[in-house]
Amino acid sequence: MSLNAVNPSTQNAAKGMKEKDIKAVSKRQTAIKVLVQIGLYLFLTVVAIAVIFPFYWMLISSVKTIDEYNLYNPTLWPTEFVWGNFREAFVGELHLGQLFGNTVLVGVVSTLLSLVVTVLSAYAFARLDFKGKNLLFGAMLATMMIPGELFTVTNYITVVNWLNWKNTFAALIVPFLVSVFYIYLLRQNFMQIPNELYLAAKVDGTSDLKYLWKVMIPLASPTLISITILKMMGAWNSYIWPKLVTSDLAHKLVTVGIREYGFIAANGVTNVPAQMAAVLLVTIPLLVVFILFRKYIMRGVSRSGIKG
């Protein structure tokens, strides 16, 4: 028998120990993965509760009585459902119907006009060649570094003192028609469209506006949908500027009206449940829009890219 021969029983023992070590390592890795997943889901659950609870509190408060809402120990479920709070939001002192109409008007008009400005500007920066294009675009991007609140004073002086637009829809619409972020977003999307399409269209005698309408806008539709939704939501949620430039009911938006027109019950106590009902009615349209179109928002942002 050769001296180098290995005992078969020794080989089997070594092989068995190796398999046991592999199984032990595999079990430890599985246990660690399970613990990590449990910790991750616990963290996400806590965050979800923190985010959802204010909406839940608004929902249950909108159907409570005033006395139940003002209890020292708050209840997490109404003992009595008062659906009349929603009727009070419409027919009470809030004038919710008027505020809704003003908000929809400002939101739709400002969104449409902003889309026109954004599309034309993005197309010019993406496809047209003119002197100072890069310098102008860089200067516009630099304004994104400045907080929007810093422009409030100069905008107010311009709109109210110079143009005398206080208590007009023009003051609510015109100052925010141009969004550098939306122009940048759409420009990046336009620049991803192959330049060969533009050259082929020019060979066929297609004008720039026709090429924009027939080719670029359809290809960039996800981004345009995203911009439309975000702009409409921004107009719906705006508060500081409408509060500064409007003081009459005919031009107030719903965000300002809910804050300023209080609900006073017969005993002089603020009817917070009715206010919560009004806030819920204002919030529902935005939630529905986001739920229905969230995939377009994500798709539009992801397609903007970083080219250029």
Tell me the residue ranges of DSSP E strands in the chain: none
41 within 8 A of 61, measured Cβ to Cβ: no
Model-level pTM?
A: 0.75
Length of the chain: 308
Residue among 264, 272, 258 at smallest CA distance from 66: 272
Average pLDDT over every residue of 72-89: 83
What pLDDT does residue 45 have?
94
CB distance 195 to 126 below 8 Å: no
Contacts of 78 (CB under 8 A, 6+ apart): 60, 63, 64, 68
At residue 306, does pLDDT exceed 50?
no
Instruction: Give yes or no for residue 7 having a pLDDT over 70.
Output: no
Average pLDDT over every residue of 258-282: 75
Minimum mean pLDDT range among 34-43, 66-75, 86-95, 230-239 = 86-95
Note the pLDDT of residue 114.
Answer: 93
Give residue-wise pLDDT tens across range 155-213. Answer: 888 888 898 999 899 999 998 888 889 999 899 888 888 888 878 887 887 788 888 88
User: How do residues 220-240 score in pLDDT, each as one tens digit?
Assistant: 888 888 888 888 888 888 888
- The confidence score (pLDDT) of residue 126 equals 87
Contacts (Cβ under 8 Å, ≥6 apart) of 105: 169
pLDDT band at residue 297 under the 50/70/90 scheme = low
Distance CA 55, CA 53 (A): 5
Model confidence at 1, pLDDT cuts 50, 70, 90, reads very low
Task: Give yes or no for a contact between 192 and 269, defined as CB atoms under 8 angstroms apart.
Answer: no
Given pLDDT bands bounded at 50, 70 and 90, which one contains residue 134? Answer: confident
Radius of gyration of the chain (CA): 30
Closest CA to 58 of 276, 290, 272, 236: 276
Residue 130 pLDDT class (50, 70, 90 cuts): confident
Name, in order, each residue with C-beta under 8 angstroms of 54's C-beta and a sequence gap of 6 or more.
Answer: none
